[in-house]
Amino acid sequence: MGVSGAGKSTVGKLLADQLGWPFLDADEYHPPENVAKMAAGKPLTDEDRWPWLQKLNLLLKHEANAVLACSALKDAYRKVLVEGIPQSRVVFLRGTIDLIRSRLAQRQHRYMPASLLDSQFATLEPPAGAIEVDISADPETCVSAIVAQLR
């Protein structure tokens, strides 16, 4: 979990490959209304997110093991994602706003504009008890740190 540009998809795919688990990208499951809202530069509300988070929870329940890349910026969102999944672990990809802003300047997301980064940092509730990884390291180093803490 983390803000846009933290490396959730990159690190998540590498981690899933290393663990031999399926990789799920939460962005692929947003309803069209959410995508349109974000593409217009408008942050999603909690009401926009609840059905999406519940759908992701159901997807996770149907996998024996999986890596999910999801912003999950609030504690309440993470609780919905892991409800009924007792062995779940949260990984927080942490970075400075300057580092992440520089990453976003170098990429084009299909609907998530860099203009929403400030609202994501304002919403972010760092998770207690999560595996926390500093994203200033390269993705492979981040994955190694996560795997070491999972074992």
Q: Is residue 2 part of a domain?
A: no
Q: Is residue 21 part of a domain?
A: yes
Per-residue pLDDT at 114: 54
Q: Is residue 128 part of a domain?
A: yes
Q: pLDDT per residue over 23-73, tens digit each?
A: 999 999 999 999 898 888 888 899 999 999 999 999 999 998 999 999 999
Instruction: Report the length, in residues, of the chain.
Output: 151
Q: Is residue 1 part of a domain?
A: no
Q: Is residue 71 part of a domain?
A: yes
Per-residue pLDDT at 4: 86
- Give me the CATH number covering residue 120: 3.40.50.300
DSSP code for 20: T
Per-residue pLDDT at 151: 84
Beta bridge partners of 23: 67
Per-residue pLDDT at 41: 80
Q: Is residue 104 part of a domain?
A: yes
Per-residue pLDDT at 116: 64
Q: Rounded to 5 degrees, what are φ and ψ at 65?
A: -145, 145
Q: Is residue 97 part of a domain?
A: yes
Boundaries of domain holding 138 = 8-150
Per-residue pLDDT at 22: 97
CA atoms within 13 A on the CB side of 72: 27
Q: Is residue 3 part of a domain?
A: no
- Decide: pTM greater than 0.85: yes
Per-residue pLDDT at 141: 98
Q: pLDDT per residue over 78-126, tens digit each?
A: 999 999 999 999 999 999 999 998 888 776 655 555 566 788 899 999 9
* Structural domain total, the chain: 1
